[in-house]
Amino acid sequence: MSWTLKRTRTLWIVPAWLLMAVILAACAHSSALPKLTLNVMTSGGFTAAYNQLAPNYSRESHINLVPTYGASMGGASDSIPARLARNETADVVILARNGIDDLAYKGFVDPASITDLARSQIGMAVKSGAPVPDISTRAAFLNVLLSAKSIGYSASASGTYLANDLFPKLEIYPQIRSKLVRIESERVAAVVARGDVEIGFQQVSEILPIPGASFAGKLPEEMQRTTTFSAGIGRMSTKKKEAARLIAYLASPQSAPTISSTGLDPVVPSDQKR
């Protein structure tokens, strides 16, 4: 196959097929260029919101977001504190505020970068199809605990509060102590869905996405513990500007409706002006 360039005065006329080939080659080269990558560690409470927000941000920013999931605290080997202690890479860290403050104190997170994203409350899960008990009052809540054959709680922020603070102070603690099951490295609602525990407690945002489990309701107000989830920049990150932009996006009014849809209360109201 042959082709020619024709000159008219000072203009070169290029065959259309050749022009298209050049354009396609340029596009292919551009798409083949490696994207900037940010490593993001997020705890379970903010996971559903992050998983919905990340793809849109990645498309708009042309930054590849690589997530790692783990608990905000606890002794599990895959918890965020344990990962950072092993020097795993994190440009952005998202977890419960008391956990991220502790990481900042230990030098893993830049304290000046910490930004609150959302607030979360603790709820109860039952297996789908099982009766959904009322836990809206203290008396009803205590009755459900007494009636349950087994009670699951997480190894992260919500479970730490339940196991160390709430449950031991209940007058029925001696009767329920042997039924308590600490769940590590897995969603409590997933364990409930399998039938391994009858009821389970965790952040509402961690219960809602789990198939096979039903959200029964939040703890009574006088027993509730609100957890703030916050983001910060990993101290060893070499991409601090890009990490700061991601955190600003997660904390923006633009992200608030998505955060709300996952059972969290965004710190920035969705109607706030930019």
pLDDT tens for the chain, 274 residues: list them. 434 334 444 444 555 555 555 455 555 444 444 479 999 999 988 999 999 999 999 999 999 999 999 888 777 888 899 999 999 999 999 999 999 999 999 999 999 999 999 999 999 999 999 999 999 999 999 999 999 999 999 988 899 999 999 999 999 999 999 999 999 989 999 999 999 999 999 999 999 999 999 999 999 999 999 999 999 999 999 999 999 999 999 999 999 999 999 999 999 754 444 4
Taking the CA of residue 26 as centre, how many other CA atoms within 13 Å lie in the half-sphere pointing to its CB? 6
Q: Does domain 122-223 have CATH number 3.40.50.11890?
A: no
What is the pTM for the complete model shown? Answer: 0.78
Domain 36-119+228-266: which topology?
A: D-Maltodextrin-Binding Protein; domain 2 (3.40.190)
Give the residue range(s) of CATH 3.40.190.10 domains in the chain. 36-119+228-266, 122-223
- E strands, 34-183, are 36-42, 63-69, 92-96, 115-120, 122-127, 151-154, 180-183
